[in-house]
Amino acid sequence: MTSTSPKTIADWRPRADRLPQTSAFSDFMQETLGLTTRLFIQLKRRPSTLVAGIVQPLMWLLLFGALFQNIPKDLFGTDYGHFLGAGVIVFTAFVGALNAGLPVMFDREFGFLNRLLVAPLASRYSIVAASAIYIIALTLLQVVAIVGLSALLGAGLPGFSGAAIILLVVLLLVVGVTSLSLGLTFALPGHIELIAVIFVANLPLLFASTALAPLSFMPPWLQMIACLNPLSYAIEPIRYLYINPQWQWSSIILHAPWADVSFGAALLVLTGFALVSLVIIQPLLRRRLA
């Protein structure tokens, strides 16, 4: 079979086909695209995931935001609902990415993952990439809804550069957390254990960040933890640009116990987090055979 399509089994010639030589990069792109397509088809056929994913953060914003409605304004530097917006955006991205491993774990338990593992994937990072792309797309839809509702609640809209920063922050956070989640998926015995880890990681990381309250509200030990928590480095830039449309790379956005953190430095920390996550899961992805 060269260019004519096979008609009978006699035209089926193992290895007679000389397929065009492709580069490792285009192979990686192709497999990532194939895997991502599958995730979007699933989403399209199970739209409830999308609906729930959009409604949930909006409920957060409305209900949790209303909880502290009557708190004095100067406490948060702004209305609590506005203060919370950045936290909800980041937490939504974080939860989505943290759960990215679950469908892969079910694939693994069901045997579907073996399909991918016996294929000559250019790199198993295509599995990570597909999940990350999917979560980023999903998160962006959620972010649009959150930003929209915040605007309705009077927080205003971020400018063009603000939107770009939100996109960048979501991207870095999702890449980092998705790869950790997939690393766990390859390392843990089954979905029960994975769900347990997700469950345990979820709320403490939320509470020990600046999502719900500023650093100054916290006792020193919690400040310490919150400043080690990557979520804070995602939340603070978004919060800052919402409150200060005139933000600069050098603007100080977080007073960590050991140093003041600038806008640019926070993004660097996030970049470092994403890169380190990608690197440390490598042995886990190779676990069976590279």
Partner 1 sequence: MAAAVVVKNLRKSYGSSIAVRDVSFEVQAGEIFGLLGPNGAGKTTTIRCLCTLTKPDGGELEVAGVSVLKDPRSARSKLGYIAQEVALDKVLTGRELLNLQAAIYHLPKAIANQRIEFLTSILGLTEYINKKTGGYSGGLQRRLDLAAGLLHQPEVLILDEPTVGLDIESRVVVWDFLRQLKSTGTTILLTSHYLEEVDALADRVGIIDAGKVIATGTPSELKDRLGGERITLRIREFTTSAEADSTKDLLMQLPFVQEAIINANQGNSLNLVVHASDDALSQVQAALKSAGLPVFGIAQSRPSLDDVYLAATGKTLMDAEMATAGSRNLKAEKKQSMKN
15 φ/ψ sector (left φ>0, alpha ψ -120 to 50, else beta): left
Identify residue 9 by its one-letter amino acid code: I
**Per CB under 8 A, does 17 bind partner 1?**
yes
**Per CB under 8 A, does 38 bind partner 1?**
yes
Residue in the structure block whose two tokens are 């997939």:
182
CA distance 220 to 178: 30
Are the C-beta atoms of 179 and 190 separated by less than 8 Å?
A: no
Using CB under 8 A, which of 72, 189, 219, 220 touches partner 1? 189
Residue 18: CB minimum distance to partner 1, A: 11
- Which residue, 27 or 79, is less far from partner 1 as judged by CB? 27
Are the C-beta atoms of 46 and 140 separated by less than 8 Å?
A: no
Residue 226: CB minimum distance to partner 1, A: 36
Using CB under 8 A, which of 77, 148, 190, 283 touches partner 1? 190
- Which residue, 44 or 246, is less far from partner 1 as judged by CB? 44
**Per CB under 8 A, does 41 bind partner 1?**
yes
Residue 55: CB minimum distance to partner 1, A: 22
Residue 74 CA: distances (Å) to CA of 71, 83, 256 = 9, 11, 21
Residue 236: CB minimum distance to partner 1, A: 39
Residue 191: CB minimum distance to partner 1, A: 11
**Per CB under 8 A, does 37 bind partner 1?**
yes
User: Binding marks (x or -) toward partner 1, 143..182, rule CB under 8 A?
Assistant: ----------------------------------------
**Per CB under 8 A, does 18 bind partner 1?**
no
Cβ partners under 8 Å of residue 102, min gap 6: 185, 191, 194, 195, 198
**Per CB under 8 A, does 289 bind partner 1?**
yes
Using CB under 8 A, which of 48, 52, 69, 120 touches partner 1? 120
Using CB under 8 A, which of 48, 69, 70, 118 touches partner 1? 118
Could you say which DSSP state residue 262 is in? E
164 φ/ψ sector (left φ>0, alpha ψ -120 to 50, else beta): alpha
Residue 132: CB minimum distance to partner 1, A: 17
Helix ranges (DSSP H) in the chain? 24-45, 48-59, 65-67, 80-98, 101-110, 112-117, 125-152, 160-187, 191-207, 220-228, 230-243, 263-280, 282-285
CA distance 265 to 234: 11
**Per CB under 8 A, does 5 bind partner 1?**
yes
**Per CB under 8 A, does 45 bind partner 1?**
yes
Which residues of the shown chain bind partner 1 in the complex (CB under 8 A)?
1, 5-15, 17, 19-20, 22, 26-27, 30-31, 33-35, 37-38, 41-42, 45-46, 108-112, 114-122, 189-190, 288-290
